[in-house]
Each structure stands twice: as structure tokens, then as C-alpha cells.
Amino acid sequence: MSHKEDNEEKRRCHRTDLYASIPRTCLPIVYHPDYNITFMGLEKLHPFDAGKWGKVIRFLKEEQFINDGNLVEAREAAEEDLLIVHTKRYLNRLKWSLVVATITEIPPLLFLPNFLVQRKVLRPLRTQTGGTIMAGKLAVERGWAINVGGFHHCSSDRGGGFCAYADITLAIKFLFERVEGISRVTIIDLDAHQGNGHERDFLDDRRVFIMDMYNRYIYPGDEYAKRAIKRKVELDWGTEDSEYLQKVELHMEGTLNEVLPDIIVYNAGTDILDGDPLGGLSISPQGIIKRDELVFRAAKRRGIPVLMMTSGGYQKKTARIIADSILNLHRQGLIEGNAAEGEGSTPLTTHMTPTSGSAGSTSTAV
């Protein structure tokens, strides 16, 4: 074994808390209160609703769909977890407040000591990243999982668009390395922005098929990353429900007919909503709900597990729409509403690779 292969093997076998066993009494919905960024009002300087994720959970609790006892609590991704994808040099750069201020586009952060930036900004982002990794394993075990958070602009060596960690890349790498039977992944990215982070990371990886449907005129416009997209759907300003949903169904079906993956990683950004200050599209709340239903229905028909992240969305009402979409998926019989409903179903047969100590035109975007 070469020195390089030996180092890769050591990284692959690192101990992680993110693949710990989750009780069957829990729904595969992953969240932690630490997702929400609040610090001296600085979060209000960014158009993103930094408390959106907590509002989604509150709405789902009010509808009695979830409770604190059956929600999966996300764990923060440790440095060893992040090093599966990120370079040490990149992680060290995050120790500079100026770098984090640039990535998050919150300029006053550059004046804060980095220990505060780590605690109040980067820890929430690392916890969301851990949530996506955890949801990947849960999706394979249960047939579906939702991380109420997520990103898609960060790659292994550079962040941007409020994304400091490459959670999609990490979740997929964890699956490839730790779950037997996962050898092909399809990313369906329906956020209004191009998902250039995971595209850069999987540019030369034939195991990953990327469908990306986005507003062609907005951030990031990453031409280099576009080379990774196998099915590219570029939308015009103001695209509305009828055209949008027709294209989603047409290209998603084409994608899944071309390559049958072992899992779908679905980026369900709500910045496509009409009136979103950054997305530039004109999709109604009902259109977003129908979009998510189309993805889950296509996956269920083919027996493919789905990992969903909620990602971008820059209006206060997007939290309610996300919650309503999840409730609709339950009403349509596409996800279970409580652990008891899933007890009679047959879980997907997988084998977890044993690990040492393992417990089982503004630029801002997300």
C-alpha cells in the first residue's frame, strides 16, 4: 500500500459520532437548535433568515407531526469528519475572521475575535453539516431523510454564498466509504442558484450524476463547475409554475431513466419562491410543494432512497412553505408520519463499513 493510500485508509477509518445508531422511534428528520444563528443582531445584515430552520420545526410541532422525542438531534461535524473532503489549509483559513466575513458576506464579522466567530457562526454551520451527513445514513436505512438545513456553494477548498462547509460532498463521500451497496449517487439540485460547490468536488467522479436547474442570470455563474452537470436546465427571470414544474418532471424523469442511482441527494431550496430577493423566479408556494412531491414520488416509484436538504430561501414565509411541503409528503403517503407507521415496512438492506471506534445578481446564496 502506498503512503497516499495508507493516509486515505486512515481517514476513511476515522472515528465519527455522525454514524451512530438512531432509534427506530425517531423520524428521519434531522435538526438542532444550534442551526439558528443569532449574535448581537449581526445575522440581520444578511438577507438569509438565519432562524428559518427553527421556525420549520415549530410549525411541524404545532401540526403534531413531530415532537422533541422523535426528532433526530444533529451533531456537529468534527475536524476529522471535515477532513474527509476539506483541505487542512482551507480549514485553517476559517480561523481568520476576515475569511469567514467574506464567505458569509457579513462584513462586521471581520472585527470580531475568531473564537466568537467559531462559536456563533461556524459552529451552527458545522452542526448543519453534521446533520446532512447523518441524514445520508438515515435515508439509506429508512428510505428517506430530511435535514432541515444544508448548503451547496462550498467545495473542498473554497467557501462562498454563506456556505463554509461542503455538506453535500461530505454526505456522499461518507456513503461511498461507509455504506456497502452505495456506488452511484444522483444529485437533483433545484435551488434557484447553481450548486457549484458539489459540482467542483465531483467534476471528474463518474459515480455522481448531477442534475441542476437554476436561474441562469444569478450567482454564482461558475462556468468551470458547470462542466460537472450531466443534465443542465437554465431558467430565465420570472419562470412560473407551469413551465417550471413541466421542466422539473421532464428532466428529473430523464435523469433517473438515464442512470438509476442507489440514492438521490435532493437540494430543495425555496429561493425559487415568487418575490425572493435573490432567486429571481416566480414559483408559488403550491408550486414548491408540488415540486417536492414530484421528486419523492419519482424516487418512491423506483425504490430509491432520498436525502433532502432545505437549503436556500430568503423570505420569512419560506419556513411555513417547507413545513407545509413536508406535511404534504406525509399526506401523499410518500413519507411516514411517525415511527409506528414505518414499523411494518421493510428497511433497505445495507451494510455499514466498520470503523475504528465507530458507534455504528447579488452574490449571496445558500
Confidence of residue 362 (pLDDT cuts 50, 70, 90): very low
Average pLDDT, the chain: 89
Q: What is the pLDDT of residues 16-35, one digit of tens each?
A: 999 999 999 999 999 999 99
Residue 204: what pLDDT?
94
* pLDDT at 101 > cutoff 80: yes
Residue 38: what pLDDT?
72
Residue 10: what pLDDT?
44
Residue 40: what pLDDT?
58
Confidence of residue 48 (pLDDT cuts 50, 70, 90): low
Confidence of residue 41 (pLDDT cuts 50, 70, 90): low
| Beta pairing, strands 263-267 & 185-189 | parallel
**Catalytic one among 32, 153, 198, 251?**
153
Higher pLDDT, 46 or 15: 15
41: CB partners within 8 A, 6+ apart: none
Q: In this structure, are residues 194 and 222 in contact, taking their beta carbons and an 8 Å threshold? A: yes
Q: What is the pLDDT of residues 259-272, one digit of tens each?
A: 999 999 999 999 99
Q: What is the pLDDT of residues 288-344, one digit of tens each?
A: 999 999 999 999 999 999 999 999 898 889 999 999 999 999 999 999 876 544 443
Query: What are the cell numbers at 27?
Result: 423520524
Q: What is the pLDDT of residues 210-259, one digit of tens each?
A: 999 999 999 999 999 999 999 999 999 999 999 999 999 999 999 999 99
| DSSP per residue, 134-163 | HHHHHHHHHSEEEES----S-BTTB-BTTB
First to last CA, the chain: 40
- Closest to 19 measured CA to CA, from 32, 8, 30: 30
Q: What is the pLDDT of residues 120-173, one digit of tens each?
A: 999 999 999 999 999 999 999 999 999 999 999 999 999 999 999 999 999 999
Q: How many CB atoms lie within 10 A of CB 299?
A: 25
Q: How far apart are CA 334 and CA 311, in angstroms?
A: 21
Instruction: Give catalytic status of residue 351 as yes or no.
Output: no
